[in-house]
């Protein structure tokens, strides 16, 4: 257990798919593991929850993000963070209003 003058940070790299439910399950499993190892904060990469096409953009050209599933997974992840007392920096995709394109965010 860390004392009050230290912060134990975990960096996590889950497998990332185009399925928010699979991504969410992988994120939460790594959150539990980080917590078991004494982490107080865990950092996930860009697109960890929503998915990220990166260099394979042509392959994912028809990919549509299921916003309802993404919101549910974010809610489940936030609930687990609260239960574990764990700070989480989570990369995901958010849609902006007003006709703007979605953008990557840390949540």
State the average pLDDT over residues 23-46. 97
Q: What pLDDT score does 9 carry? A: 98
Own/partner pairs, 97-104, CB within 8 angstroms, 24+ separation: 102/65, 104/46, 104/47, 104/52
Q: For residue 37, give every residue at least 6 positions away whose Cβ sits within 8 Å of its Cβ, in sequence order, or none.
A: 10
Domain count, the chain: 1
Q: What pLDDT score does 50 carry? A: 87
0.85 surpassed by pTM: no
Own/partner pairs, 76-83, CB within 8 angstroms, 24+ separation: 76/24, 76/28, 77/24, 77/27, 77/28, 77/31, 77/49, 80/28, 80/31, 80/32, 81/31
Q: Is residue 31 part of a domain?
A: yes
Rounded to the nearest 10 degrees, what angle do helices 67-84 and 20-36 cross at? 10
**pLDDT-based confidence at residue 3 (cuts at 50, 70, 90):** low
pLDDT in tens, 11-28: 999 998 888 999 999 999
Q: Is residue 51 part of a domain?
A: yes
What CATH number is attached to the domain comprising 20?
3.60.110.10
What are the tokens at 61? 């050209």
Range of the domain at 18: 9-106
């Amino acid at each position: 257990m860390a004392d009050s003058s230290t912060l134990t940070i975990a960096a996590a790299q889950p497998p990332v798919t185009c399925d928010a439910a699979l991504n969410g399950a992988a994120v939460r499993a790594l959150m539990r593991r980080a917590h078991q190892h004494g982490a107080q904060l865990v950092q996930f990469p860009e697109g960890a929850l929503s998915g990220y096409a990166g260099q394979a953009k042509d392959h994912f050209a028809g990919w549509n993000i299921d916003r309802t599933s993404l919101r549910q997974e974010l809610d489940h992840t936030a609930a687990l963070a609260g239960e574990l007392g764990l700070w989480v920096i989570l990369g995901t995709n958010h849609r902006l209003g007003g006709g703007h394109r979605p953008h990557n965010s840390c949540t």
